[in-house]
Structure 1
């Protein structure tokens, strides 16, 4: 975790992250409420909240949300977007040191961030802040690497130009690993289709929001953008490409 500078590696990508990262399907939160007994009255700690994309989903469902985020630039973006909401607050904290009181949270959520956490210390911290019977829900938008010429071309582009793409991709936990992390507390898992329809500017911004995309000034930056433009021109339909995901959620007690 330390070698990849997990708390700082998005600091220079906040604008692209805010504008171009996908949200999460509302059907996922409907499933969480319907199948796991979660209600809008549950207090949520959204850990690794970033710029607030997942926090917004939870606020829209009626929850009071504490966004826990160690990256100052990303936390500031979340406050700029959501800070006027009466049920939202943001705090400087980490997955293993949230700063929240014991047994003060009904639901801990982690969106697109668990792979940056230390599993053992995170488990202890989440267990500390959750009330008895409270739940943890870990979810991701997992980009599909195959299935269409665009998706396969985009995966090849990341393999070719990404600065440490393989190292980051290998950190994503599979469902079996997450079931092991929850242990006897595992309660359920679900998957949902999700997508973004992107023009070239949106596609470029989506790429540049990724921590492994070489920034301007890097020798691979311009060749990467040229390859991206060629891929877009080859695959676009009505001026857009479909960026397809499987949204995974795993839920349990600790």
Structure 2
């Protein structure tokens, strides 16, 4: 499936159940990189606007660049209260933005979809001098018994988890993207608390899992319910993340 259309049939779950990003990211960028409020941000692969909202809430104007029509329209609806947000139809390789127009580029949970070489050239074109590139991922922890079994459940039922879930994310690829410059990695704690319906929604919000109308959906949810029942406390389960933020210049 074309990555630009991959999420079209699961936008509602994506909106409701995908994790957001810690506000501490903004404090870090302001303190370490002098990325002051008011500077223009391009959110590339903006999706429904989760990463855009982090910056909008902190006083940054944001252009959300998103090729998927349903995702883009969702971001316009969800972020309509922010007058400094606009969404445009574009991709990492062809943003449609003016040359030298943005102070920073943010990619939240999106960099692994890009053609890295073409995206790098496009990013260099649209960034102002000394502009920042900020790559953000929420990475699920796989340490506790629940986390390990949940990951095994995903591997069992996913269609292309290894290919989609990890492509382009390893440190070597990221360092190669910023080369010959370097990048800084900062990690933040993040979490979500779910009842069973929430955990179900979180699972199927991932593009590599069987959607609700798929023949593989019922067996997957049967396994998920058994897992939830084994580990739930007060009818809830916590998913822990390391939010990894890579920052550098091109």
Unaligned runs of 5+ in 1: none
Larger deviation, residues 159-168 vs 183-192: 183-192
What is the match of residue 140 of structure 1? Answer: 137
> Aligned runs of 1:146-225 on 2, under 5 Å?
146-225=142-221
Q: Distance in 1 between matches of 2:226 and 2:138?
A: 25
Q: Which runs of 4+ in 1 moved over 3 A?
A: none
Unaligned runs of 5+ in 2: none
What is the match of residue 12 of structure 1? Answer: 9
Q: How many residues align?
A: 250
> Aligned runs of 1:71-86 on 2, under 5 Å?
71-86=68-83
What is the match of residue 87 of structure 2? Answer: 90
* Alpha-carbon shift at residue 150 of structure 1 (Å): 1.4
Q: CA RMSD in A?
A: 1.1
* Alpha-carbon shift at residue 172 of structure 1 (Å): 4.3
* Alpha-carbon shift at residue 16 of structure 1 (Å): 0.2
Q: Distance in 1 between matches of 2:50 and 2:171?
A: 23
Question: Structure 1 length normalisation: TM-score?
Answer: 0.95
Question: Structure 2 length normalisation: TM-score?
Answer: 0.97
Q: Any conservation in 1 of the 2:97–2:126 contact (CA below 8 Å)?
A: yes
Instruction: Note if 1:60 corresponds to 2:64.
Output: no
